[in-house]
Amino acid sequence: MLVYTEKISERIRYSFETVLRERLGIAFSFTDDEYFFEKYDGNKINYSKKKFKKCLNILPVGLLHERGINPAWNNTYCNDEEPTLPSAYPEDIFSAIFYHLSSYREYVRTALDKHGRTLPDKCALMHKVPIVDMWIENFSMHLNQVFPDLTIKKNKYSAISTIDVDTAYAFSNKHWAIALGGYLKSLLNLDIETIKLRTSVLMDNEKDPYDTFEYLQNVHNCMDIQSIFFFLLADYGRHDRNICWKNKNYRKLIKEISSQSEVGIHLSYHSVDDMDRMKKEIFRLESILEKPVRKSRQHYLRLRLPITYRYLEALGIEEDYSMGYPTEDCFRTATSFPYYFYDLDQEKKLNVKIHPISYMEITYQHYKKLSPEQALICIRQKINIVKKYNGSLVSLWHNESVSEYKHWKGWRKVFEEAMNNMMK
């Protein structure tokens, strides 16, 4: 495939590579030579305002020829209308897709929650379905009609279970001061049941409720599900309540998990714009695993665009699993497929692949206050949508949410059903 454009910008290169090469498996090259393009006999796309014969003409709207942020594009791509499929080309889907994958509107709109996370706007709420995936599917059918001899890759549905380990154990393996604080808190709340359980766990008479790792691995193995565990190895703080990274049982657990599953770093609450902190935490995991760490997820799904990704790239992280809204189960960048991050401030593609989150259990349990039964309905819908577009499903659970402890009673069933549905 030959693509003609008057000027090959970084944005054009990124968008065409993502859509044509990565998603549709179409090899292509660019040319800015009008004469060469006209004479070329094979399949060709013209991405310019000029008109050519015997090719697919796509009229650029201008976004991919600009640099920097122009808020006016939000009116084009993020308005009150339901997103629709282009009825006919030359509609510029390369710009529309770039707008979503680059998180363009997040550079303009800055409504944040108390943790400094971008709140989903009206536009995001329309992305309960991954519209970028719909557009690409539709475009692929159009390409098939225009170029009958063109081979287009068929994507296959894939699913992965990811587990965040914020607190590996509820009571055991904690510093004595933290354990004492826990006792005092329970006393103040007259929570006798927790006092009993804590004592029983500490005396080794009962299993720690958050120690669900064997169960999780059993479910994954039984259903033949690929999994990644992200471990928090932060300095202890208000939002980082992990077991100390020096604790030998915690280190042993991480090592054991890594023999069956992939393991990544769960970067701490304050790491989001702190490269030294990121580096320290990645190093801690590398020292436990005795190998380089390439996968990460931000704790609380906190992201600062584009700085978090710039730091991740500099520290050798190749794949990130943080792209999702904690409060809503919509596709934050309107796609379920992995794609490379585009840094709009530097105008370049970064070597960090983003794996968008399809759903997180806390969205339903904590933010939407749904019952396990209601959550399961939502999760099933989400799985069906990803299957429909042959996308990549990334589920997000925590070790504590399958503990059947306190507010997580009844959620094991949801986890098992969800895993079963993912693999059916």
- Minimal CB distance residue for Zn ion: 299
SS3 for 5? coil
Q: How far apart are CA 413 and CA 422, in angstroms?
A: 14
Asked if 35 and 61 count as a contact pair (C-beta separation under 8 A), the reply is no
Q: Which of 217, 317, 312 is nearest to 261 (CA)?
A: 217
Q: How far apart are CA 315 and CA 293, in angstroms?
A: 9
Please spell the DSSP secondary structure of 276-327, one letter per residue.
HHHHHHHHHHHHHHTS---EEEEGGG---TTHHHHHHHHTT--EE---S-SS
The structure tokens 């009206």 sit at 122
- In the complex, minimum distance from the CB of residue 398 to Zn ion, in angstroms, rounded to a whole number: 7
Q: How, if at all, do strands 348-354 and 339-343 pair?
A: antiparallel
Residues that bind Zn ion (CB under 5 A): 164, 166, 299
- In the complex, minimum distance from the CB of residue 306 to Zn ion, in angstroms, rounded to a whole number: 22
CB-nearer residue toward Zn ion: 83 or 326? 326
CB-nearer residue toward Zn ion: 297 or 310? 297
CB-nearer residue toward Zn ion: 11 or 266? 266
- In the complex, minimum distance from the CB of residue 235 to Zn ion, in angstroms, rounded to a whole number: 15
- In the complex, minimum distance from the CB of residue 81 to Zn ion, in angstroms, rounded to a whole number: 35
SS3 for 28? coil
Strand (E) or helix (H) holding 53: none
CB-nearer residue toward Zn ion: 54 or 241? 241
Structure tokens at 143: 């390409």
- In the complex, minimum distance from the CB of residue 227 to Zn ion, in angstroms, rounded to a whole number: 16
CB-nearer residue toward Zn ion: 209 or 391? 209
CB-nearer residue toward Zn ion: 43 or 322? 322
CB-nearer residue toward Zn ion: 23 or 299? 299
- In the complex, minimum distance from the CB of residue 249 to Zn ion, in angstroms, rounded to a whole number: 20
CB-nearer residue toward Zn ion: 299 or 355? 299
**Phi, psi angle pair for 157, to nearest 5°:** -60, 135
- In the complex, minimum distance from the CB of residue 239 to Zn ion, in angstroms, rounded to a whole number: 9
Q: How, if at all, do strands 56-58 and 158-165 pair?
A: unpaired
How deeply is 88 buried, as exposed, middle or buried, from its count of CB atoms within 10 A (0-12, 13-18, 19+)?
Answer: exposed
Q: How far apart are CA 249 and CA 173, in angstroms?
A: 7
- In the complex, minimum distance from the CB of residue 331 to Zn ion, in angstroms, rounded to a whole number: 20
Amino acid at the residue 421: N
